[in-house]
Amino acid sequence: MPRPASIHVCSACGHESSRWAGRCPGCGEWNSLVEQVRDPRPALRGRAAGAAGGAAALKPVALRDVAAVEQRRLGTGIGELDSVLGGGIVPGSLVLIGGSPGIGKSTLTTMVLANLHEAGRRTVYVSGEESAAQIRLRAERLRTGALGIPVIAETDLHTVLATLERERPEVCVIDSVQTLHSDELASAAGSVAQVREVAARLMGLAKAMRIAVLLVGHVTKDGTLAGPRVLEHLVDCVLQFEGERERTYRTVRAIKNRFGSTNEAGVFEMRDDGLVEVLDASARFLGEATRAPGSVVLCAIEGSRPLLVEIQALVSSSELVPPRRVASGFDRNRLALVLAVLGRHAGIGAGTSDVFVNVVGGVRVEEPGADLAVALAVASAVRGVAPRAADGQPLACFGELGLTGELRSVAHADRRLAEAAKFGLGPVVEPTGHRTLRAALAHTFGHRQRALAA
């Protein structure tokens, strides 16, 4: 039987199949198999070459006998980014930066190279999406130091590798990895095979010449990094650049980091002259709090940093069946859980109403400590009463909701309380002082007798 000339490769996990299928057998994604021309190079047969294939055996070495190499990081000049990276860029590492179009990925990488160039580091900017003239327009908007960055506009992988071997930069930016292609493969740029080949070749060069490579990656319509999952496994660090283009605030999170923690997050503000670090994000968000019904302040934790953000809720009568549940910056399934607990254990039902929840400022909150804030905001919107502290300040709260109506403790409670006290917010509604959701609602809206009955 003749060997098929093409194969079908999953664009999500890289699984190869001889036939097309609606669902990938490897990862279960629908409509992700793409037809590609099979590599004409013959594969090495294990039976003919033997189990070892003629390779020389290696002797394992105990870890205590391995010489420890000190990793001297390169500071980017941007404190928020350095903290997310774990202290700076590690020479020879691959950092993948993903984000939606227009979020500011190119602006961030240009600022990084500008700071490194001013510090005397050798840099190269490789652009596959923009011309050199377009990059200059962005550099003129940022700062004068950005005009000294060496730039090439090229999409051929071999040309880019040859340029990096000759220039030997310390830090290189590839914008973006989906635009580079190799002539050795018949598939188009951005396909699974091309992205995998480009990343592997860049990784080999980066490790051999200790070049720190920043890869800019596209994202899919649901916000995940585009391309095969093998790309995320190859790189050393994966950064997610989040935010809404209509809003000024941006957040950088580390999804994967081999040289640091993944619990850090950096906050930026987009301005005309580029991204500006938001060193005191709580003051920015708290200063815009409305203090109206449906608004509470959440004492959140972004990595190791306490952050005060405003949670807003709107409850209105609905003519739709079922009513709408819309959440911006908060998980929609988690919102459904909070509404169910409110209706069952607090007597506040919203079954026939539309419920909208928004985390102000374009911030996304994914921790369970936001449950109580969402519950109090929805309850405030239903009753039409603004939840305020005794001194008229906005109400601050945090805590996780259990399915039986209890409040559960969350991590870093001391840091949350200290951040609230720093801005004069108190007393804070939290699980230590209120064991149930009904007690927290009674304290918030002044129903003392109902709290005692609970």
Region 77-95 average pLDDT: 93
| pLDDT score of 453 | 39
The CA distance from 394 to 261, in Å, is: 33
- Pair (262, 302) in one structural domain: no
- Type of residue numbered 275: L
| pLDDT score of 220 | 64
- Pair (123, 92) in one structural domain: yes
168 or 267: whose pLDDT is higher?
Answer: 168
Question: Mean of the per-residue pLDDT values for the chain?
Answer: 86
CATH number of the domain that 236 lies in? 3.40.50.300
CB 378, CB 338: distance < 8 Å: yes
Say if residue 421's pLDDT is above 50.
yes
The CA distance from 391 to 426, in Å, is: 8
- The segment with the largest mean pLDDT, out of 31-35, 226-230, 248-252, 298-302, is 298-302
- Pair (189, 273) in one structural domain: yes
- Pair (307, 339) in one structural domain: yes
**15: containing domain:** 1-39
Pairing of β 151-153 and β 94-99: unpaired
- Pair (178, 34) in one structural domain: no
24-68 confidence digits (pLDDT tens): 888 888 887 877 766 555 544 444 445 556 678 889 999 888 887
The residue among 279, 314, 344 that closes a domain is 279
Region 414-430 average pLDDT: 91
- Type of residue numbered 58: L
The residue among 211, 246, 279 that closes a domain is 279
Residue 55 maps to a domain: no
304-349 confidence digits (pLDDT tens): 788 999 999 999 998 888 899 999 989 999 999 999 999 999 999 8
Sign of the alpha-carbon torsion through 105, 13, 368, 256: negative
Say if residue 230's pLDDT is above 50.
yes
- Pair (316, 252) in one structural domain: no
CB 60, CB 196: distance < 8 Å: no
Residue 68 maps to a domain: no
244-265 confidence digits (pLDDT tens): 766 778 889 898 999 888 878 8
| pLDDT score of 173 | 96
Residue 311 maps to a domain: yes
89 or 264: whose pLDDT is higher?
Answer: 89
- Pair (306, 264) in one structural domain: no
- Pair (314, 166) in one structural domain: no
With CA atoms as reference, report the closest residue to 252 among 103, 115, 114: 103
Q: In the chain, how many domains are there?
A: 3
By percentage, how much of the chain surpasses pLDDT 90?
49
Q: Check: pTM over 0.85? Answer yes or no.
A: no
List the Cα angle 337/329/397 in 5-degree steps: 65
CATH number of the domain that 427 lies in? 3.30.230.10
| pLDDT score of 226 | 58
Residue 237 maps to a domain: yes
Say if residue 127's pLDDT is above 90.
yes
The CA distance from 177 to 162, in Å, is: 16
CB 217, CB 199: distance < 8 Å: no
Residue 44 maps to a domain: no
Residue 232 maps to a domain: yes
Three-state DSSP at 448 gives: helix
CB 212, CB 91: distance < 8 Å: yes
Region 117-125 average pLDDT: 94
- Pair (272, 294) in one structural domain: no
The CA distance from 97 to 105, in Å, is: 7
CB 114, CB 149: distance < 8 Å: yes
- Pair (258, 293) in one structural domain: no
- Pair (270, 179) in one structural domain: yes
Residue 24 maps to a domain: yes
Say how far residue 47 (Cα) sits from the centre of its chain.
45
- The segment with the largest mean pLDDT, out of 55-69, 383-397, 413-427, is 413-427
**C-alpha R_g of the chain:** 26
State residue 343 phi and psi, 5-degree precision: -70, -35
Rounded (10°) angle between helices 437-445 and 371-383: 50
- Pair (290, 194) in one structural domain: no
Question: Running DSSP on this structure, what letter comes out for residue 285?
Answer: H
Residue 59 maps to a domain: no
429 or 14: whose pLDDT is higher?
Answer: 429
The CA distance from 298 to 360, in Å, is: 11
Region 235-242 average pLDDT: 91
